[in-house]
Amino acid sequence: MRYFFVLSVFLKSFYSNAQSITNDFGAKSKGVGNSNTAIADEWSIFNNAGGMSALEHVHVFFGYDRYHRLEGFDKVAAGIIHPMKFGNIGIALFRFGDELFSESTISMAYGNKIGFVRLGAKVNYYQLRIDEFGTAGAMFFDLGGIVELVPDLSFGAFISNFSSAKLSNVERSELPVVMKIGLSYTPVRKLSVNLDVYKDVRFMPMIKAGIEYIIAEKLYLRTGVNTNPFQNFFGIGISLDPFNIDYAVSNHDFLGLSHQAGISFTYYKKGEK
What is the model's pTM? 0.88
Nearest C-alpha neighbor of 72 from the set 46, 92, 99, 34: 99
Predicted local distance difference test score (pLDDT) of residue 170: 67
The band of 4, judged by pLDDT with boundaries at 50, 70 and 90, is very low
Q: CATH homologous superfamily of domain 2-267? A: monomeric porin ompg (2.40.160.40)
pLDDT in tens, 159-203: 999 989 988 766 667 889 999 999 999 999 999 999 999 999 988
Q: How far apart are CA 237 and CA 244, in angstroms?
A: 7
The band of 206, judged by pLDDT with boundaries at 50, 70 and 90, is very high
The band of 23, judged by pLDDT with boundaries at 50, 70 and 90, is confident
Q: How far apart are CA 39 and CA 222, in angstroms?
A: 14
pLDDT in tens, 213-258: 999 989 999 999 999 889 999 999 999 999 999 999 998 777 778 9
Query: Is the Cα dihedral 141, 146, 147, 153 positive or negative?
Result: positive
Residue partners of 8: CB distance under 8 A and separation at least 6: none
Whether residue 182 contacts residue 36, with contact meaning beta carbons closer than 8 Å, is answered with yes
Q: How far apart are CA 101 and CA 10, in angstroms?
A: 9
3-class SS at 53?
helix
Nearest C-alpha neighbor of 70 from the set 270, 252, 209, 261: 252
Whether residue 249 contacts residue 259, with contact meaning beta carbons closer than 8 Å, is answered with yes
3-class SS at 48?
coil
Q: What is the DSSP string of 64-111?
A: EEE-TT-TT--EEEEEEEEEETTEEEEEEEEEEE-SSEEEEEEEEEEE
